[in-house]
């Protein structure tokens, strides 16, 4: 057998001054400029994704807040005083002055605030059905404001929406007749684009309505001594800067707006209420910008739900929790034992959105709100009556509905349109019953508030409404992807319609509202027509909201030509 050997050629030494090549004499393959760019970009992408994951991870860990068992209840609950009033020519007159102030809200230092007749929040207005009232609203601030009577049935020119602005140094005096059942209402600014800021800083208060016709009825047995066994509970979440100033900045991951890490009750941090009667009636108000509360007793006990937005329920409902989205009210009666201490807590609300948005919308948060401290001996209280108010089903019947309107909430628009203060979006005929179908299209919490009316909730996603939606409502939480059907009927306030002055409908998450999730409707008489465009008051704020989709509303419009000869 013959073996053949192959001898490699002799290595040729490099020329003097030439770079040395790789072993074996093979030429080195050099990476081109494009390849180097791609490698660098890949590294940048990896680093960026890693940084985003790290930031989101830290934000996720910090997003959930719980004060359960950690609140020191050391301050007596501040109860807003009842507003003074006088009667002039048969009209009950209140005076409110919006002013700047400084308040102790439990921060590291006194907090600059705004309030009505005081440093923070305002007094409780109280009037009776059938009374004619006037509220002289004076603006002593250095900024424009308005004051809206949330839940009130009244003429649109008195409503206090974006069209009824009160400039610095001016006084606005809306006057109307109270014409609705006893209820827990409230008032707050409604300046377009600035509502969230002004409410957050303190412009808000309660407006309680009494009904003399029911004074001797079954509901007379409910606790009713203001500040003793009938107590306002205004819930507002806040965050603070290190120097004590309010911090209303929203997390960059929050889809809803500002969420504070501290909850104040009537402006009081860590509040307790001394209870001297067997039963105490708490009038709950969610006065927050964006936060949804799910309120109950920390020990899992039950309360009796007796009222919602528009007044008393037909009968009390025994419940463990009451969900309150921004603007919602509820009246609950808590039964106490001598010497008992009970904590009112907000449990994580079920928002019905994806886990990421749930967490960054406050859906995983728990707050201890208020401690109830029963005296060793309690004055006896009557049992809660079995019958209370009017059943909405006895007043509004779906069989009477003459049309259905659709309201789709997405982004910061309704039916694809953002707020235009000069545009009429819907025209409603007085006295006609309608079904309104409200749906959240995006995976974001929203709610829906309608001015001037109290509506009946027919169903949510085809299911009967929960107990907290069983009575009269003006604000309702809108769970994404589920149709909430409302039965609505507008009556002419004080017997007259006004086709040129609008009411609002909008999301009451105030950041959403400010950013354009609001529309306008006018109420007309049968056969009456309305303009498609209306006059805008001088100096009206009108942020530049771009329509996200083309649209022209979904309800019958009945519009007359506007002065420029166009219709919509």
Q: What percent of the chain has pLDDT over 90?
A: 80
DSSP type of residue 212 = G
Q: CA–CA separation, 32 vs 250, rounded Å? A: 46
- Give tens-digit pLDDT for 70-106: 999 999 999 999 999 999 999 999 999 999 999 999 9
pTM of the model: 0.86
Place of tokens 């982004």: 411
Q: Which of 492, 455, 519 is nearest to 192 (CA)?
A: 519
- Give 24 or 44, the one with higher predicted confidence: 44
- Give me the chain's average pLDDT, please: 89
DSSP type of residue 455 = B
Name, in order, each residue with C-beta under 8 angstroms of 286's C-beta and a sequence gap of 6 or more. Answer: 235, 292, 293, 324, 325, 326, 327, 328, 329
Residue 463, pLDDT > 50, answer: yes
Tokens representing 428 are 């409603």
Q: Which of 345, 184, 342, 376 is nearest to 273 (CA)?
A: 342
Length of the chain: 568
Name, in order, each residue with C-beta under 8 angstroms of 4's C-beta and a sequence gap of 6 or more. Answer: none
Question: What dihedral do alpha carbons 434, 413, 516, 64 form, nearest 10°?
Answer: 110
Per-residue pLDDT, averaged over 427-451, amounts to 97
Give me the sign of the Cα torsion angle 84, 88, 91, 94. negative
Residue 29 pLDDT level (bands cut at 50, 70, 90): low
Q: CA–CA separation, 200 vs 245, rounded Å? A: 12
* pLDDT for the residue 536: 85
Question: What dihedral do alpha carbons 118, 230, 288, 406 form, nearest 10°?
Answer: -130
Place of tokens 């909850």: 263
Q: Which of 132, 170, 165, 169 is nearest to 147 (CA)?
A: 165
Q: Which residues pair with 148 in a beta bridge?
A: 188
DSSP type of residue 393 = H
Q: CA–CA separation, 307 vs 309, rounded Å? A: 7
Per-residue pLDDT, averaged over 482-501, amounts to 96
Per-residue pLDDT, averaged over 241-253, amounts to 94
Residue 504 pLDDT level (bands cut at 50, 70, 90): very high
DSSP type of residue 263 = E
Q: CA–CA separation, 363 vs 136, rounded Å? A: 40
Give me the sign of the Cα torsion angle 552, 557, 558, 564. negative
Q: CA–CA separation, 169 vs 98, rounded Å? A: 10
Per-residue pLDDT, averaged over 203-228, amounts to 93
Name, in order, each residue with C-beta under 8 angstroms of 330's C-beta and a sequence gap of 6 or more. Answer: 284, 295, 305, 307, 308, 322, 324, 468
- Give tens-digit pLDDT for 115-152: 999 999 999 999 999 999 999 999 999 999 999 999 99
| 3-class secondary structure per residue, 292-315 | CEEEEECCCCCEEEEEECCEEEEE
Residue 564, pLDDT > 50, answer: no
Q: Helices (DSSP H) in 317-476: which residue ranges?
A: 355-360, 392-395
Q: CA–CA separation, 334 vs 371, rounded Å? A: 12
């Amino acid at each position: 057998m013959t073996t053949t050997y192959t001898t490699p050629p002799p290595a040729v030494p490099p020329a003097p001054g030439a770079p040395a090549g790789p072993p074996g004499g093979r030429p080195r393959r050099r990476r081109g400029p494009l390849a180097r760019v791609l490698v660098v970009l890949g590294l940048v992408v990896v680093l960026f994704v890693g940084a985003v994951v790290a930031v989101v991870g830290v934000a996720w860990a910090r997003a959930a807040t719980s004060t359960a068992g950690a609140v020191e209840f050391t301050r007596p609950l501040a109860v807003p005083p009842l507003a003074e009033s006088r009667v002039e020519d048969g009209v009950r007159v209140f005076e409110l002055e919006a002013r700047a102030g400084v308040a102790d809200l439990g921060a590291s230092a006194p907090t600059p605030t705004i309030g009505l007749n005081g440093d923070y929040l305002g007094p409780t207005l109280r009037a009776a059905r059938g009374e004619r009232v006037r509220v002289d609203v004076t603006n002593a601030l250095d900024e424009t404001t308005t004051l809206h009577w949330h839940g009130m049935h009244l003429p649109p020119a008195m409503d206090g929406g974006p069209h009824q602005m009160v400039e610095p140094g001016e006084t606005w005096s809306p006057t109307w007749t109270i014409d609705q059942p006893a209820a827990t209402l409230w008032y707050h600014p409604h300046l377009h684009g600035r509502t969230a800021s002004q409410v957050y800083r303190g412009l808000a208060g309660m407006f309680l309505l009494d009904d003399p016709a029911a004074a001797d009825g079954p509901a007379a047995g409910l606790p009713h001594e203001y500040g003793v066994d009938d107590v306002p509970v205004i819930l507002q979440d806040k965050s603070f800067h290190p120097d004590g100033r309010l911090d209303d900045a929203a997390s960059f991951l929050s889809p809803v707006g500002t969420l504070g890490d501290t909850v104040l009750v009537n402006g009081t941090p860590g509040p307790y209420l001394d209870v001297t009667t067997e039963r105490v009636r708490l009038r709950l108000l969610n006065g927050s910008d964006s936060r949804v509360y799910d309120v109950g007793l920390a020990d899992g006990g039950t309360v009796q739900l007796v009222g919602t937005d528009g007044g008393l329920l037909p009968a009390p409902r025994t419940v463990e929790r009451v969900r309150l989205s921004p603007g919602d009210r509820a009246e609950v009666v808590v039964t106490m034992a001598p010497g008992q201490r009970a904590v009112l807590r907000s449990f994580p609300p079920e928002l019905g959105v994806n886990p990421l948005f749930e967490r960054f919308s406050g859906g995983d948060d728990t707050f201890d709100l208020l401690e109830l401290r029963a005296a060793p001996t309690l004055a006896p209280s009557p049992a809660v009556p079995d019958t209370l108010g009017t059943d909405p089903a006895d007043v509004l019947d779906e069989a009477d509905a003459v049309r259905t309107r659709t309201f789709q909430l997405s982004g910061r628009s309704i039916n694809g349109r953002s707020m235009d203060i000069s545009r009429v979006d819907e025209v409603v005929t007085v006295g006609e019953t309608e079904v309104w179908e409200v749906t959240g299209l995006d995976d974001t919490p929203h709610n829906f508030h309608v001015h001037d009316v109290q509506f009946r909730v027919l169903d949510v996603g085809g299911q009967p409404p929960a107990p907290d939606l069983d009575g009269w409502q003006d604000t309702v939480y809108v769970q994404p992807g589920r149709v909430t059907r409302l039965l609505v009927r507008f009556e002419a306030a004080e017997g007259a319609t006004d086709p040129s002055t609008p009411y609002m409908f909008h999301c009451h998450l105030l950041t959403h509202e400010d950013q354009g999730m609001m529309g306008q409707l006018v109420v007309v008489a049968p056969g009456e027509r309305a303009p498609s465009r209306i006059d805008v008051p001088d100096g009206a704020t009108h942020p530049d909201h771009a329509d996200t989709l083309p649209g022209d509303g979904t309800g019958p419009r009945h519009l007359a030509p506007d002065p420029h000869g166009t219709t919509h």
